[in-house]
C-alpha cells in the first residue's frame, strides 16, 4: 500500500537553484516518484533541470501553466512531450480552441516519438485565491471544459475535488495542491487541506511543497504524510492503478 501512496504524492521542487534541488533529491532518495518543476527552476535552468530529475529515476510534473494563443500553446506542448514529462499544466481560461489544440498536439507528438503521452491537466482556480460563493461552480465549469476538450484531468483544491469527481467521473485525474498538515501555516495559500482530506475528497494526486521543503527533516515529513494517507485511503491505493496514470 505504501508504495502506491508514494506514487500519488508529488513534491513541488520550489527551490531557487539546481544545486539545492539536487541535494534535496539526494536526501529523499526514492521515497517519492513524481517531482513538480515550476517556473522558477525552469526559467533558470530550462530542460537541464528536467533531465536532472529524470536521471534519478523520478517522473516530472512540468507545471508551467501554458496560456497563450492556440498555436503557441500547441508548440509548447510538443516541446514538453519531447522532454518525456509525466504531467504538464495549462490554464483552462485559455478556452476551448487552445485546450483542444494542446490535446491534439500532445497526442500527435507522443505518437510520432512512440512515447507515452503526458497527462494534460487544466488549471481551474489557483489555491492562492481566497474563493467565494461562486468558486465551486467556476471550478466545475472549467473541469467540464477540460474534459470536453480531451484533457486528462484538472488541478483544483481539495474543497472542490469531491464535486469535480461527481461530475467528471472516476477516470478523470484530479491533482490537489495547497496541502498543509493541520499544524502548518497556510502562507500565501488560501484554500488548503490536509493530505488525508484531499485523498478522502477524491484527489488522485496531491502536491506538497513547503511542508517538506521547510521541514528540519524532509524525509520524516514525507514519511508522516505517507503514514497519514495510508490510514484514510484504505485499499484504494492498495491495488494496482485502474487507468489513472
| Alpha carbon distance 104, 117 (integer Å) | 11
| Alpha carbon distance 104, 77 (integer Å) | 10
Backbone torsions φ then ψ of 119, nearest 5 degrees:
-75, 125
Contact status, residue 80 vs residue 55, Cβ threshold 8 Å? no
| Alpha carbon distance 11, 207 (integer Å) | 6
Q: How far is CA 126 from CA 36, 64, 119, 164, in A?
A: 16, 13, 19, 15
Query: What is the grid cell recorded at 33?
Result: 516518484
Classify the C-alpha dihedral 198-204-207-211 as positive or negative.
Answer: positive
Q: Which helix (H) or strand (E) holds 154?
A: strand 153-155
Share of the chain residues as helix, strand and coil, in percent rounded to the nearest 5 = 50, 15, 35
Helix, strand or coil for residue 41?
Answer: helix
Catalytic residue chosen out of the listed positions 6, 8, 65, 147 = 65
Phi-psi region of 84 (alpha: psi -120 to 50; beta: other; left: phi over 0): left
Contact status, residue 11 vs residue 36, Cβ threshold 8 Å? yes
Task: Please indicate whether residue 65 is annotated as part of the active site.
Answer: yes
Active site residues: 65
Amino acid at each position: 500500500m505504501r508504495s502506491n501512496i508514494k506514487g500519488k504524492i508529488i513534491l513541488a521542487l520550489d527551490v531557487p537553484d539546481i544545486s539545492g534541488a539536487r541535494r534535496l533529491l539526494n536526501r529523499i532518495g526514492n521515497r517519492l516518484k513524481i517531482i513538480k518543476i515550476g517556473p522558477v527552476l525552469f526559467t533558470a535552468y530550462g530542460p537541464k533541470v528536467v533531465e536532472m530529475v529524470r536521471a534519478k529515476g523520478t517522473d516530472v510534473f512540468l507545471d508551467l501553466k501554458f496560456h497563450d494563443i492556440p498555436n503557441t500553446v500547441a508548440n509548447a506542448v510538443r516541446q514538453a512531450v519531447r522532454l518525456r514529462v509525466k504531467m504538464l499544466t495549462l490554464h483552462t481560461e485559455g478556452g476551448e480552441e487552445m485546450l483542444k489544440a494542446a490535446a491534439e498536439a500532445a497526442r500527435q507528438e507522443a505518437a510520432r516519438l512512440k512515447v507515452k503521452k503526458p497527462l494534460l491537466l487544466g488549471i481551474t482556480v489557483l489555491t492562492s485565491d481566497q474563493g467565494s460563493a461562486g468558486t465551486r461552480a467556476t471550478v466545475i465549469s472549467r473541469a467540464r471544459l477540460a474534459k470536453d476538450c480531451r484533457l486528462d484531468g484538472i488541478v483544483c483544491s481539495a474543497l472542490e475535488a469531491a464535486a469535480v469527481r461527481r461530475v467528471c467521473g472516476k477516470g478523470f485525474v484530479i491533482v490537489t495542491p495547497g496541502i498543509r498538515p493541520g499544524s502548518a501555516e497556510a502562507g500565501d495559500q488560501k484554500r488548503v487541506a490536509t493530505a488525508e482530506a484531499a485523498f478522502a475528497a477524491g484527489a488522485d494526486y496531491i502536491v506538497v511543497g513547503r511542508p517538506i521543503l521547510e521541514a528540519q527533516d524532509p524525509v520524516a515529513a514525507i514519511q508522516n504524510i505517507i503514514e497519514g494517507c495510508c490510514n484514510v485511503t484504505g485499499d484504494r491505493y492498495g491495488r494496482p492503478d485502474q487507468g489513472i496514470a
